[in-house]
Amino acid sequence: MHLRQLSCCLVLLLVGFAVNALAQITRGESPQAEFPRPTLQIINGSGDPIDLFWINDQGERVSNGRVPPGKDAIITTTIGHRFAIVGKDAEQVVNSKVPIQAHRFDPEGTDGVPAFYAQRTDAGGFPIVASATVNPYALKEAKYLVDMMLAKRPDVRKAMVDSGARLCILAYNEFTTDQPEWARFREAEPPPKFKGLSGRDYWDRRARGMGGSQTDPYCSCAEENLLAYPGDMYSTENILIHELAHNIHLRGMTNVDPTFDRRLEDTYKAAMAKGLWKDKYASTNHHEYFAEGVQSWFDNNREPDHDHNHVNTREELLEYDPGLAAMCREVFGDTELRYAKPQTRLHGHLAGYDPSNAPTFRWPPRLVEADKRITPRKTPEGFPTGYFYMTNKFVEGQNLVLESAPLTLRERGNFSGMQWKTLPAGDGYFFLTSQFLEERNQVLEGGNGEAAAFMASNNGVTGTRWKAVPADDGYYFLTTMYMEESKKVLEGNVGDAKADRSDPFKGGPHMVARRATGTMWKFIPVE
């Protein structure tokens, strides 16, 4: 990295969106100041080099160097200073407005927004953009969520807008490096543990949403998550809430209150010292700590799994980590938003949206290898390796196990239809099939809770993606990605001899909201 001292005492760094650029640029620049000096990031979104000039009080232009295509420059400056950006066929002037600010020079776009984005809306001035491929209802849903999250903080919203932030929505069949803001990742080297993957494949599989930073103004989320399409890998949470929380933190609150980040980090350290969030995603750093807390503040975090504990609502957050809850209340207030999936509120901005016509999200063939590498394949917790019998606490004394053909509880025997195995489904979920039906590509489908569970062709739908949640004494509750939010689990309490085929709830296992011995499953290895 090369530094050049200029007559106007500004330091220009040419960087490639390096995460640590801001720390490097501000360290020691203003030793008497309590906070770093303001920075202005100029992003060259054109295909030609651009020249930068500081405009002094006399209107004279002082050269601030050149930025190659696809690169950016961060200038340490003063609020109110003006800079001219001169390209091959266009020129723009930008004013420094807030401590953390970015400006994208892209003459082929509009207001710095690339031409890739054919659809645009805004939430109180905060830009939301998408390509022509994205369902327009995704933009409406995004606008609704942004408005609700920032309802009590117009100052934070304005700071984000002034900082150059915006939300970019991925289509269900688009991927991170398709978007101009992250196209540079195509050539980026993935982490060492993923050596052999291209930067493009790594980032396209790794991220269905980006939060931005103090050196990256943009955040993103995906259409399939906003509108809850089948196959959504994050079906029990809303990724916009998580990623926008990062942007609110790093582009909004940092500009409104320079003490916020430091106070948040102190709160995070105090929580870690108490052993809170141990081994969970919220313990990663104070950025993820806040974003995970925001999800729970809006009742939008996952049920307990590898990355999450029991906290997923505002009330649980207030009880478990009052410090983090206080930070959320400071930012958002007691907002009305308590998130629910769009299928439950098909009115207002979602009037006319028909979920039955939604496409299914799937990883394309080119990302199959990346998916295997990034999502480790292992036997789910509580399950034996290989085939196993499934019984539950209510019927195990009767020697009953789950039979797949037909799906019912029968006396245990050496039959292939009773011998189950798990298949990886990604993101911590698994498919359940039997030795008898495996070659037919049939898996257990939990249904919608209105009828019995059944065996179905494996099309990857959310009702076939299972998760085991520990109960007690070696038993587990079984829920599906589709039913997880409603807290329904699989119950089996009627043996085949007592089954009534005219009543689906007496004909086989089904999904219920209660917790009882018939919902507590055990997995016995086949000898």
Q: Enter the DSSP assignment of 210.
A: B
pLDDT of residue 2: 33
The total of structural domains in the chain comes to 3
Q: Which of 105, 135, 170 is the last residue of a domain?
A: 105
One domain, residues 351 and 498? no
* Close Cβ partners of 131 (under 8 Å, ≥ 6 residues apart): 116, 117, 118, 119, 171, 174
Please, are residues 122 and 143 in contact by the beta-carbon 8 Å criterion? yes
Q: Which of 340, 357, 374 is the last residue of a domain?
A: 357
CATH code for the domain of 442: 2.80.10.50
One domain, residues 311 and 451? no
Q: Is residue 382 part of a domain?
A: no
Q: Is residue 344 part of a domain?
A: yes
One domain, residues 291 and 211? yes
One domain, residues 330 and 403? no
pLDDT of residue 385: 78
The owner of tokens 């900082």 is 163
pLDDT of residue 233: 82
For 299, counting Cβ atoms within 10 Å of its Cβ (0-12 exposed, 13-18 middle, 19+ buried), the class is: middle
Q: Is residue 65 part of a domain?
A: yes
pLDDT of residue 279: 87
Q: State how far the Cα of 142 lies from the Cα of 230, in Å rounded to an integer.
A: 19
Q: Which of 339, 357, 375 is the last residue of a domain?
A: 357
One domain, residues 313 and 426? no
One domain, residues 70 and 168? no
pLDDT of residue 494: 67
One domain, residues 81 and 130? no
Q: Is residue 4 part of a domain?
A: no
pLDDT of residue 102: 98
Q: What is the dihedral of CA 389, 395, 396, 398, to 10 degrees?
A: -110
One domain, residues 241 and 131? yes
CATH code for the domain of 288: 3.40.390
Tally of helices (H runs) and strands (E runs) in the chain: 12, 24
CB neighbours of residue 40 within 10 Å: 28
CATH code for the domain of 40: 2.60.40.780
One domain, residues 100 and 128? no
Q: Is residue 2 part of a domain?
A: no
**Residue 48 sits in which domain range?**
12-105
Q: State how far the Cα of 90 lies from the Cα of 270, in Å rounded to an integer.
A: 51
One domain, residues 68 and 195? no
pTM, rounded to two decimals: 0.72
User: For each successive 10 residues of the chain (527 residues), what is the average pLDDT?
Assistant: 32 34 35 73 97 97 96 97 97 98 95 96 98 98 97 98 98 98 94 93 96 96 94 88 98 97 98 95 96 95 77 94 98 90 94 92 89 71 84 93 93 94 82 90 84 83 88 90 89 64 60 91 92
* Close Cβ partners of 310 (under 8 Å, ≥ 6 residues apart): 304, 316, 320
One domain, residues 263 and 202? yes
One domain, residues 94 and 143? no
pLDDT of residue 15: 35
Q: Per DSSP, which regions of 137-294 are E strands?
A: 166-170, 218-222
Q: Is residue 432 part of a domain?
A: yes
Q: Is residue 110 part of a domain?
A: no
Strand ordering across the sheet containing 72-76: 12-15, 72-76, 39-44, 100-105
Q: Is residue 374 part of a domain?
A: no
Tell me the sheet residues that pair with 432.
422
Q: Per DSSP, which regions of 446-512 are E strands?
A: 454-457, 466-470, 476-480, 489-491, 510-512
Q: How far apart are the first and last CA of the chain?
A: 62
